Structure 1
């Protein structure tokens, strides 16, 4: 159960970042949902294939709920894949936003003024 709660907390943190800077779901909800569904489908298919090949095996843990979506596929795996996809898209869209901000020309910075404190001028 602990692992699921940690994953839910991490998903919540991603959602807060997304909401604050409107990066993914808050920018384009329908497109984001389609991307998340495609990513989840891809990674779940990957997991199912790896399970069938004997590469991924589930081991019991007191940190997990014990709920299985399919043989060798725990509930937590679906939440982990959701976190993985969401995190990747937050990083991708956040990087794009940062690069856009840096490439937009803004006003030139004012030249630095050097002023001498009163009474320190050279009178040579």
Structure 2
């Protein structure tokens, strides 16, 4: 039962990849830029977590759904996967919003 949360995160990440591939939202639009953005987001949020843990602001929740494996004190194995999902979801949403508007003429600039 300790792998349920990690499995849910991996499944959700897989769904993000499928959406991205189908609609060309993030990695399938510009792989190099997407890698830099996702890695930067992960590093930022992991450092944020480590500072929060160091200041006794963030604590690991106890649940049977998690593996119990810690990468650092109070930093569970699942945290980087959650942060990757958070970043990927945000960038897919941004990609969807900008991709949708890319083909529309702006007001006042139509082809009359």
Q: Please report the TM-score for the alignment, with normalisation by the length of structure 2.
A: 0.89
What CA distance in whole angstroms lies between the structure 1 residues aligned with 2:49 and 2:110? 47
CA apart distance, 1:106: 9.2
Alignment counterpart, residue 57 of structure 2, candidates 55, 58, 72 = 55
Following superposition, the deviation at residue 103 of structure 1 comes to 3.0
Structure-2 separation of matches of 1:5 and 1:32: 24
Over 2 Å off, 4+ runs: 101-107
Q: 1:37: how far off?
A: 0.6
Partners of 1:59 and 1:91 in 2: CA distance: 28
Q: Given the superposition, is the C-alpha separation of residues 106 and 5 from structure 1 closer, same or farther in structure 2, using an over 3 Å criterion?
A: farther
1:77-121: CA deviation from partner (whole Å, max 9, x where unpaired):
1100000000000000110011123337999xxxxxxxxxxxxxx
Q: 1:79 is matched with which residue?
A: 81
Structure 2 equivalent of residue 40 of structure 1: 42
- Please, which runs of 5 or more residues in structure 2 have no aligned partner? none
CA distance in 2, matches of 1:81, 1:58: 15
Q: Which has the higher contact order (CA 8 A, sep 6+)?
A: 2
TM score, norm. by length of structure 1: 0.81
Q: How many residues align?
A: 108
Q: Deviations over 1:32-80 (max 9, x none)?
A: 1111110000000110011011111113211001111110000111100
Q: Tell me which residue corresponds to 1:22.
A: 24
- 1:29 is displaced (CA, Å) by 1.0
Unpaired stretches in structure 1, ≥5 consecutive residues: 108-124
RMSD between superposed Cα atoms in Å: 1.9
Separation (CA, whole Å) in 1 of partners of 2:4 and 2:104: 40
